[in-house]
Amino acid sequence: MCGIAGIYHPETAKPVDPARLRAMLEPMGHRGPDGSGVWTAPGVGLGHLRLSIIDIEGSPQPMASADEAVTLSYNGEIYNFRELRAELEDRGHRFRTSGDTEVIIAAWRQWGPECLSRFNGMFAFALHDAARGCLFLARDRLGVKPLHMARLSDGSLAFASELKGLLRHPLLRCEARLSAVEDYLAFGYVPDDSSIVAGVEKLAAGHYLLIERGKPVPAPTRWWAPDFSRRIKASEGEAAEHLIHLMRAAVTDRMVADVPLGAFLSGGVDSSSVVALMAEASPKAVKTCTIGFDEAALDETAYAQAIAERFATDHRTRTVAAGDFGLIDRIADMFDEPFADASALPTWRVCELARETVTVALSGDGADEAFAGYRRMVFHHQEERLRRMIPAPLRRGLLGPLAKVWPQMDWAPRPLRARATLASLAKSGAEGYAEAVGVTGPAQRARLFNDAARRALGDHVAEGRYWKAMAEAPAREPLDAAQYADLMIWLPGDILTKTDRTSMAASLEAREPLLDYRLIEFAAALPAAMRVRGGTGKALMKRAMERYLPRDILYRPKMGFVTPVSHWFRGALTDQARALATSATLSRTGWFDMAEIDRIVAAHQSGRRDHGRLIWQFFMLEKSLAKLFGI
């Protein structure tokens, strides 16, 4: 796992200053504490930071081919590199190292851009081919590894793993993008198709960019997307057997490392499944770690301990205070862009704990997206059945107005919040689901912005990307479309960003076996009844894991990493919440109705409404704006 940076002049071969590349690498040093390198040639420069995992001594980067025609700077792991290496050797390629970096170079020379479809892994890389006169940037299928890019005034393209590296380039004008703030308020993160800094782009998951010198820079090309339009032809028992086969392969592929390896263990279905399959494949006790909380309602350590005992893991637990808000400034620095998923705090803590004994940790990320594990997906599946039964004019004309007068019950579970259900049913399925995924709805956001900001935003609506993704999804039914949109938007923007930044801040490599593309493609082809059953998701996965895990793990209610932000803003962070209404940073943007922010904080602290997540969003936004733009 590593960090990369680079500069490319697509029009003329201007020289690249190595000192500029070193400056871009410097703030990302946590991504590669084991080594760094810079390479330049006419019109191009690549930089690299290395966290050594495989072939520790033999694969320094940037790496050049034997004839020095191809040079690569690469962040990630190719899990099937040994199989690819054998195939490439049969085709006449020769290798000087034993790692996966050189395999990427040979695969490019053999297959060009088509090499990507042969890789099973997580990656973001930059490859310069002097013979072809091109730069090839690529990102893995699901966006596990990040890549930020910007076109600069001198005609160059600069890129880096993290925004903080890109911001070190002196020609990047650091100006805020208002539409990204709208997106952030809607979802709690800045999606991958946007950036808080105007002029910065993120190469989208499953895309590549091939730039040939002397030609205009093209739009990125999509090389992979999940396909929900197919259906497997198998019984549930056969499907469960095949799923176990795929999960076992995904886990064992990710256990290849020349450094200590372990796993995160929460005691939930996903991480417990990964640990069970690791224990099956490992001759030694698997190293596992769990973060517990000092509030019983948030603590899952008893479940994690039960799994650790069941599989005889080398288990470590650390309890942290639920009021562990001292990390807030550190979290803001990790993410650069505003990021309001408060579970980043305990995620960072578990990465920190893991790094004390291992360099690589397997996580359970991805199963909820692949197998419809989120409650919002289950509700959407159920609501779509009702939408088909009730004519649209009746839904809009009756249920919409009824939702407006129904009592607000923020405290209740979603099935009991009739107002939310009625409001969702009054909309189309895509509109309802987009708002269910979000944090702050369109009406609330409109009240938060002032008149000038609303005019500047024009017709930009954050949820529009969900409407578009669901409309274009290769899908057979509404559940397919919802999962497709989450895989394309929510997964890379929130879940994988959180895991990448927190793990890399600890110089830890996190691997996600449940995001193996073979698993994702298989799950997308499952009938809905094998995903959602009895009001819960992940039906087939739970059945398949019954041979490994007890029922109280498989079928208990989902908890997840919870952080009590609502409590904080009525307790230890009361004053900080109140200060938002007079924040010089928020006021100087010229975007917000500061009186509305004051009303929100007052309503929350009085107990009339629960605005904890929205206040947390503004809290993190304020810190990000001040850090990035000096506002």
Which residues does the annotation mark as catalytic? 2
C-beta separation of 178 from 445 below 8 A: no
AA identity, residue 314? D
Distant-in-sequence, close-in-space partners of 199: CB < 8 Å, separation ≥ 6? 150, 151, 172, 173, 175
Alpha helices per DSSP H over 474-559: 478-485, 496-505, 517-524, 539-544, 551-554
In this structure, the number of other CB atoms found within 10 A of the CB of residue 230 comes to 12
Which residues share a beta bridge with 124? Answer: 75, 139
∠ at Cα 51 (47, 56), nearest 5°? 105
Buried b (16+ CB within 10 A) or exposed e, 467-489: bebbeebebeebbbbbbbbbbbb
Q: Which residues have CB under 8 Å from 575's CB, separation 6+?
A: none
CB 475 within 8 A of CB 384: no
Residue type, 216: P
- Name the burial class of residue 411, with classes exposed (0-12), middle (13-18) and buried (19+) by CB atoms within 10 angstroms of its CB: exposed
Sheet strand arrangement including 2-8: 35-41, 44-50, 2-8, 157-160, 148-151, 200-202
Please, what's the b/e burial string for 501-535 (b: 16 or more CB within 10 A of its CB; e: otherwise)? Answer: bbbbbbbbbbbbbbbbbebbbbbbbbbbebbbbee
- Record the tokens describing residue 51, joined without a space: 């966290």
Residue 364: DSSP 8-state:
-
Asked if 16 and 7 touch (Cβ cutoff 8 Å), the reply is yes
Give strand ranges (E) for 134-206.
134-139, 148-151, 157-160, 200-202
Q: How many residues does the chain have?
A: 631
Coil/strand/helix, residue 311: coil
Rounded Cα gap, residues 70 and 67, in angstroms: 8
Alpha-carbon gap, residue 370 to 350, rounded angstroms: 24
